[in-house]
Each structure stands twice: as C-alpha cells, then as structure tokens.
Amino acid sequence: MGKDTPVSKPDVPVTDRRNSLRKIIIKETALLLGFLFLGLVLLPVAIYLVGQAIFGDYGGGTYGHFYSEMSGRIRAGDAAAWFLVLSPYLGWQTLRLIGLGWRLAGRRPLSRSH
C-alpha cells in the first residue's frame, strides 16, 4: 500500500453509532441547559450589579423589579432579551467553531497524485 492509498475503516455497527449519537445529544443538551441557567440566573445578577455600580439605582430600585421586567420581556418574545439569555451559549458555540476552523486550517492538504 502506498501512502496515498486510502485505508478503509471497519464498518461501525449501527448500535455503536446510535450510542455515540445519544452521548453527543445528551452532552449538547446538558451544555445548552447549563448555559441557559447561566443566562437566566447568573447573568442578570451580574448585569444588575454592574449597572447599579456604574449607572446608579435601577428605575424600579430592586433586583426583583429588574428581573421581573426582564423575564416579562423574555416571555413576550423580545429578541434582545432572548439574545441576552442565549449569549453565553452562543459565545461558547462561537469559540468552538473558531477552534474547529483553527484545527482544520492547520491540517496539511491531501496530496494528489496524477
């Protein structure tokens, strides 16, 4: 076999593919839920505290009022509120895509023999 001859991979049984697909789905769902928790619970606290430190008291005065107003916007389908909630997940996915692009760019192109 020459170095350019493709090596065939053994066929992967269907059950192994299903198990690996199931593991990927579970992992990605857990990742989404974790970042959703971050966006719904921890990020609003940080936004409120930073906003209070920089701009002073919020219009309603309390974190409860701030969170109530924000959750109302989320329930109403406000795109900016949903972007805020999903931004940790979207940021993580962007970093993953950058990493994938970086790895793919570093690969050597396959040599073609004519």
User: Apex CA 35: angle with CA 17 and CA 78, to 5°?
Assistant: 115
How many alpha carbons lie under 13 Å from residue 73 in its C-beta half-sphere?
Answer: 15
Calculate the CA dihedral of residues 14, 18, 21, 23 and round it to 10 degrees: -130
For residue 67, give its domain range. 19-104
3 occurs within a structural domain: no
112 occurs within a structural domain: no
User: Across the chain, what does the average pLDDT equal?
Assistant: 86
Count how many domains the chain has.
Answer: 1
Distance CA 91, CA 35 (A): 10
40 occurs within a structural domain: yes
Cα 32 to chain centroid distance, Å, stands at 6
55 occurs within a structural domain: yes
9 occurs within a structural domain: no
Q: Is 86 within 8 Å of 39 (Cβ atoms)? A: yes
What average pLDDT does range 68-90 have in this prediction?
95
31 occurs within a structural domain: yes
86 occurs within a structural domain: yes
The pLDDT assigned to 92 comes to 96
- pLDDT bin (cut points 50, 70, 90) of residue 44 is very high
